[in-house]
Structure 1
Amino acid sequence: MTLATEHAWLQRASCGAGCVHAGADAPGPRWVVVCRTTLRTAAALTLFCGVWLLAVPMPGRAHVQRGYCRMMLRTLGVRMQVSGGPIRNVPGVLVVSGHVSWLDIFTIGTVVPGSYVARADLVDWPALGPVVRLMKIIPIDRARLRRLPAVVAAVAERLRAGHTVIAFPEGTTWCGLGYGRFRPAMFQAAVDAGRPVQPLRLSYRHRDGRPSTVPAFVGDDSLLTSVRRVITARRTVCHIHVESLQLPGTDRRDLAARCEAAVRGQANRIALVAPTDCGEGHALVA
């Protein structure tokens, strides 16, 4: 998969294969890996066939979406841990977090389902395209910066209508050990709509608690390679810490800085440390 055309809004990560394989868990005996991979693949494909149900209007659909995302993660060998919070039932919230993997969509979906701001060409991806359409993404053409105000306006309109919108302000994926700055553009939507922002601190770990870069979708990774790496791993644990809601205020840069500090665990610090460069990411979801 190739990176989106570079422009002033899209920052370039520096994560590569060295980040992904550093500190990887031993997969175990070959026969165990084959059995584990076969079972997980079959379960994930079976569950994926029912993804269209997420688009059907029904009472308690948010609970159904959360349950579906949890089941999908379990079939892939990913377990969830949630702390902080609670998630407040406030209409029209912009949800933001760091961006590591395609798995982020499912992990965030376990705690706060919503529609995503995503790169426009995702609708053309095999397998993911139909899912993207069902999730009613707000498409962003990353090679055409002039269209960014229209995207921000669309996000603000969704927020005013009481919908939850999820965005990744780094604009590209990182390995989870390195990270980028939060770009302020999407935060303008919360300022314009006068709606709060919910920061989520997301991290992936091995079963023994060590940081894991197995789910990272960076460098020369193809989606299939990344999925295979997750499925063959013994176990991946995703931890989501729900930070305090941030009021929008009137300055998008201040709002972006506050949310970045919360996501990095630095909410009690006035100044942010410099971002850590690790590699080259994929601009999967904005």
Structure 2
Amino acid sequence: MTVGTEHAWLQRASCGPGCVHAGADSPGHQWPIAVRTARRVCAALALFSAVWLLALPMPGRSHLQRGYCRLMLRSLGVRMSVSGGPIRNVPGVLVVSGHVSWLDIFTIGTVLPGSFVARGDLVDWPALGPIVRIMKVIPIDRARLRRLPAVVAAVADRLRAGHTVIAFPEGTTWCGLGYGRFRPAMFQAAIDAGRPVQPLRLSYRHGDGRPSTVPAFVGDDSLLTSIRRVITARRTVCHIHVESLQLPGDDRRDLTARCEAAVRGASVPVVASARGEGHALVA
């Protein structure tokens, strides 16, 4: 999201409150909305109280994580759809996708659970903080660019150890209709570790198939406002298209371009955003 201190390396996204449109029912259905919302809140709170189970070392832990994320999405009124290539059980893979919402944590977790590279203050957020700690997030301090090489090194170490790491190369959230450029910093970790990259194309839609910005977490949105918008919407469908694995090679800009083209569904590298230049990690 694009709030907080601006930095020279962190450009302002063009997405803002004007991009976000609610997806609740018509005024004639206020009672069903209230019932549905109450049911979802109760289900989400019950699941949240059991999040500590994800930290237990046990056989089949990744299956538990996938199931938990799917149930959490369902409790919030979000359904999943997955297409594309098979999800390969490759140790030490870097997963990349566009970044729209806090929901991305759960949507990607339904197919490829792993550790996220995320803004360091997430551990202090209400509701998400415990989940962030359990998922062993790799924090990045966006106010201190000189620490970026240490973050890249930490990602490379986890990849070498066979762990899945998820990164959002745009470095901030966009509305889902617009998007920012991928930056090459995190891709250097895959090259250093000699591990492949798994691009995911992620999109949110209304139940009738129209593109949805309900989950978008942009501008001056608060977490509670965004959660309320999602949980009161009639239905949101998240579609994940699994693209082909990309071998790292030795040129991070080439790897970045290949992965960005895959995530955008383009046959050639993307050279401009749909709504303006993105802002993300620079290298």
Task: Give TM class, smaller chain.
Answer: over 0.9
1:221 is displaced (CA, Å) by: 0.6
1:178-230 alpha-carbon deviations (Å, 9 max, x no partner): 00000100000001000000000000000111000000001111000000000
Q: Partner amino acid for 1:41?
A: V
Per the alignment, residue 67 of structure 2 pairs with 67
Rounded to whole Å, the distance in 2 between the matches of 1:209 and 1:279 is: 27
Residue 275 of structure 1 is matched in structure 2 by: 273
1:264 maps to which residue?
264
Q: Is the Cα contact below 8 Å between 2:180 and 2:276 reproduced in 1?
A: no
TM-score by length of 2: 0.94
1:142 paired with 2:135, answer no
Q: Answer whether contact 1:93 1:198 (CA < 8 A) is retained.
A: yes
In the alignment, structure 2 segments of 5+ residues that lack a partner are none
Q: TM-score under structure 1 normalisation?
A: 0.93
Instruction: Identify the range of structure 1 (251-260 vs 1-10) with the bigger mean alpha-carbon deviation.
Output: 1-10
Matched-pair contact (CA < 8 Å) for 1:19–1:279: no
Between the aligned partners of 1:9 and 1:139, the Cα distance in structure 2 is: 17
Given the alignment of the two structures, is residue 46 of structure 1 paired with residue 46 of structure 2, yes or no? Answer: yes
Whole-Å Cα distance in 2 between the matches of residues 134 and 245 of structure 1? 27
Q: Does 1:108 align with 2:108?
A: yes
Query: Per-residue displacement from partner, 1:94-149 (whole Å, max 9, x unpaired)?
Result: 00000000000000000000000011111111222221111101110000000000
| 1:228–1:8 Cα change, 3 Å | same
1:226 aligned residue: 226
- Equivalent residues in 2 for 1:229-248 (5 A)? 229-248=229-248
Alignment of 1:169-208 (within 5 A): 169-208=169-208
Other structure's SS at 2:202 match: strand
Amino acid in structure 2 at the alignment position of 1:104: D
What is the number of residues matched between the two proteins? 278
Q: How many angstroms apart in 2 are the aligned matches of 1:69 and 1:124? A: 21
Aligned residue for 1:14?
14
**Is contact 2:79-2:235 (8 Å) kept?**
yes
Q: CA RMSD in A?
A: 1.7
C-alpha deviation, 1:257, in angstroms: 0.7
Q: In structure 2, how many angstroms separate the alpha carbons of the residues matched to 1:27 and 1:279?
A: 34
Q: Is the 8 A contact 2:117 2:137 kept in 1?
A: yes
- Identity, % of aligned pairs? 82
8 Å CA contact 1:119–1:140 kept in 2: the answer is: yes
Contact 1:15 1:277 in 2 (8 A): yes
C-alpha distance in 2, partners of 1:106/1:134? 13
Pairwise CA distance, 1:280: 9.7
